[in-house]
């Protein structure tokens, strides 16, 4: 509730649902946008509407894309023998910023969790196993967060893929309890280079 006109109140309510914004920062952000309504608010609304209409998950890897199959999966420059498994698209972006990995990805969209009733199917792990069989995959690199859930998920995937393919994981450099998306490019590069078999 901001005591603004109802259209603006509705906007603030929606903005307050974004991660990192509470009611007060949503009011501040909305006022900032209204002050810059020609230069920022209108273009932002249009960009957001366009992305809402076109963005979707890549049917192959789960990456965010504006096509059914993402540009990484369709690129002829990416090695098809290596699949890097990440929890989240934000982690894929972090890997891409490091610019050291030349293979393709598999985005789980989370980690296994008995508490939240998230099993292998919810994470697309059967699809990963299918990709290992049907594509010419020689190595699966597990780039999961160094959290308990992340490592539980990594062990589960390693077990499933045992004897089918070489399974490695990011090793050196990922701090205990750390999350990939917080790391600098150099740390990610070092961790990938020093990857070890699970």
Q: Which two tokens stand for residue 142?
A: 């597990």
Query: Would you say 72 and 61 are in contact if contact means Cβ atoms under 8 Å apart?
Result: yes
Q: Which three-class secondary structure state does DSSP give residue 85?
A: strand
Residue 61 touches which member of its own copies, Zn ion, none, C-beta under 5-8 Å by kind: Zn ion
Give yes or no for residue 103 binding Zn ion (CB under 5 A): no
Residue 50 touches which member of its own copies, Zn ion, none, C-beta under 5-8 Å by kind: its own copies
Q: Which three-class secondary structure state does DSSP give residue 20?
A: coil
Q: Which residues contact 83 (CB under 8 A, 6 or more apart)?
A: 103, 104, 105, 106, 128, 131, 132, 135, 137, 139, 140, 141
Q: Give 142 or 198: the residue with its C-beta nearer to Zn ion.
A: 142
Q: Per-residue x/- marks for Zn ion, 60-89, CB under 5 A? A: xx-x------x--x----------------
Q: Give 9 or 147: the residue with its C-beta nearer to Zn ion.
A: 9
Query: Would you say 86 and 110 are in contact if contact means Cβ atoms under 8 Å apart?
Result: no
- Interface positions with its own copies (CB under 8 A): 1-5, 7-8, 10-11, 14-15, 17-21, 24-25, 27-34, 37-38, 40-55, 64-66, 71, 88-90, 92-93, 96-97, 181
Stretch that binds Zn ion, among 17-25, 57-65, 145-153, 155-163 (CB under 5 A): 57-65
Judged on CB neighbours under 10 Å (0-12, 13-18, 19+), 123 is buried
Q: Give 143 or 174: the residue with its C-beta nearer to Zn ion.
A: 143
Residues that bind Zn ion (CB under 5 A): 58, 60-61, 63, 70, 73
């Amino acid at each position: 509730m901001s005591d603004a006109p109802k259209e603006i109140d509705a906007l603030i309510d929606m903005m307050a649902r974004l991660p990192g914004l509470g009611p007060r920062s949503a009011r501040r952000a909305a006022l900032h946008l209204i002050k810059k309504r020609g230069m920022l608010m209108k273009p932002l609304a249009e960009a957001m509407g366009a992305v809402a209409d076109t963005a979707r998950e890549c049917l192959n890897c789960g990456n965010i894309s504006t096509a059914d199959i993402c540009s990484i999966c369709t690129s002829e420059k990416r090695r098809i023998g290596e699949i890097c498994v990440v929890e989240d698209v934000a982690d894929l972006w972090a890997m891409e910023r490091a610019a050291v990995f030349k293979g393709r990805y598999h985005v789980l969209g989370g980690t296994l969790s008995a508490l939240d009733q998230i099993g292998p199917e919810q994470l697309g792990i059967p699809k990963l196993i299918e990709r290992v069989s049907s594509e010419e995959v020689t190595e699966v690199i597990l780039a999961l967060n160094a959290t308990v859930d992340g490592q539980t998920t990594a062990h589960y995937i390693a077990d499933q893929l045992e004897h089918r393919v070489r399974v490695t994981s990011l090793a050196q450099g990922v701090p205990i309890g750390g999350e990939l998306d917080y790391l600098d490019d150099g740390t990610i590069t070092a961790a990938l280079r020093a990857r070890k078999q699970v």
